[in-house]
Structure 1
Amino acid sequence: MKNKKTEANVDMIISKTFSGLNMNALKYLLPLWMSPLSGVAIRCTFAAVAFWIIACFTKPEKSTLKEKGLLFLLGATGIYGFMFFYLVGLSKTTPVSSSIFTTLQPIWVFIIAVLFFREKITVMKVVGILIGLGGALLCISTQKSDDLASDALTGNMLCLTSSVIYAVYLVLSNRLLKSVGMYTLLKYTFTGAAFSSIIVTLFTGFNAPVLSFPLHWFPFLVLLFVLIFPTVISYLLIPVGLKYLSTTVVAIYGYLILIVATIASLAIGQDRFSWAQMSAILMICAGVYFVEIAEKKDNKPSFSEKE
């Protein structure tokens, strides 16, 4: 089990590094080379097809029709909802701001645990939540719209919503992984997400100049990076982390997304340094840290460890 946990931690580092770079790649593509909703449809459909093909070369996994139906619904609402709000939000704000809200996921995981799994509430956890939410409010209230963020307030609120939805997905997928295999999870959740994305696209239209001929090779290569690494490979690695690490530990790797996205954004000019933004980052990191330290000090295991 120790080796499995080490492997899970390495997998999460790779996965979240790709996720951090994913923010910068998507920011480059949105909305000039593809609309946010078309981007969601491309990612979800590509991933669904890829996971079904990959699963053909793996050992068959047993699952019931009910479990497959639940996974489909989880993907149709959870994964699609997360990507929907995330891509639309990212198109209106900066990669650093969007990654700030991603880092809030452990706090949402804990709140869900309190509401639905009777997680123990302590003073340190409450302090951590308040500090983290204070950081989010600081980012939302101080960032102004400019040439890098067309509608910062709306974009930040949408990214905040996406982080809540993804936290719900983390909790539910963690529970379902106890009875279904990793590839079953990926196949059916992304099939559900692809189904939702296709239905929405039928009403909103498909707009992706990046796929038009003659091909513009650099945007197309950026899109391939998004589809192969942050989408397929990253999501292949996440269930490994969910299987051998607690849900909250997996969510804490959101710190790495923040670090990678911040360094890349400042390096390529997708964001500008801001003391208010830096203060928000430090407050959220401190808040998540307090929640995690409090959890480790509890005598009772967290809900994700009891299952």
Structure 2
Amino acid sequence: MSDAFKAHISLFAAQVIYALNYSIAKDLMPFHIGPLALVYLRISGACLLFWILSLFARKESLDVGDFKKMAILAVFGVFVNQVFFIYGLRLTIPINSAIIMISNPIMVILFTLIVFKERITFLKISGLSLGIAGAVSLLLFR
């Protein structure tokens, strides 16, 4: 099996898990677990999984200053993001939550184009178009 094929299988599996995330989280929350407990379980499970995987990976050294940056990113990039996502999901249906999450990369591209005056490339327009087409198809074919 080629490395490219393995990468594509891994990406496909990640997207399937990501897609199932909305419905599973929504089904668990109102009856079985609270939003913060769900966030705690998700983050703890991911930490455990990545720690186990790190035992088999090549070791890399980090500067002391990098640990502070990683802690800040962990709080805002993972914890706060997940808390907002789970609480938002509790208030709506999974399809609406998925549409909002799909719009995030679209908003980032538009933000960088407007604020940072980044160049518009064919790949950026293609990605933006695919994102918009995906969101529209979710809305039209619920």
Match of 1:213 in 2: none
Unaligned runs of 5+ in 1: 129-247, 263-276, 282-307
Task: Give yes or no for the alignment of 1:93 onto 2:65.
Answer: no
Unaligned runs of 5+ in 2: none
Name the CA shift for 1:64/1:112 in 2 (closer, same or farther; >3 Å): farther
Match of 1:21 in 2: 20
CA RMSD of aligned residues (A): 3.3
**TM-score, structure 1 as length reference:** 0.38
Shift of 1:90: 0.9
Match of 2:105 in 1: 106
CA distance in 1, matches of 2:87, 2:56: 35
Task: Give yes or no for the alignment of 1:10 onto 2:6.
Answer: no
**Equivalent residues in 2 for 1:118-197, closer than 5 Å:** 118-120=117-119
SS at match of 1:104: helix
1:17-48 deviations in Å (ceiling 9; x for gaps):
11111111111101211111111111112211
Match of 2:140 in 1: 278
Shift of 1:88: 0.7
**Equivalent residues in 2 for 1:191-210, closer than 5 Å:** none
CA distance in 2, matches of 1:9, 1:116: 33
- Percent identity, please: 25
Shift of 1:116: 5.9
- The higher-RCO structure (CA 8 Å, 6+ apart) is 1
**Equivalent residues in 2 for 1:181-260, closer than 5 Å:** 255=134
Mapped contact 1:27–1:91 kept (Cα < 8 A): yes
Match of 2:79 in 1: 80
CA distance in 2, matches of 1:28, 1:110: 32
Shift of 1:118: 3.3
**TM-score, structure 2 as length reference:** 0.75
CA distance in 1, matches of 2:22, 2:101: 11
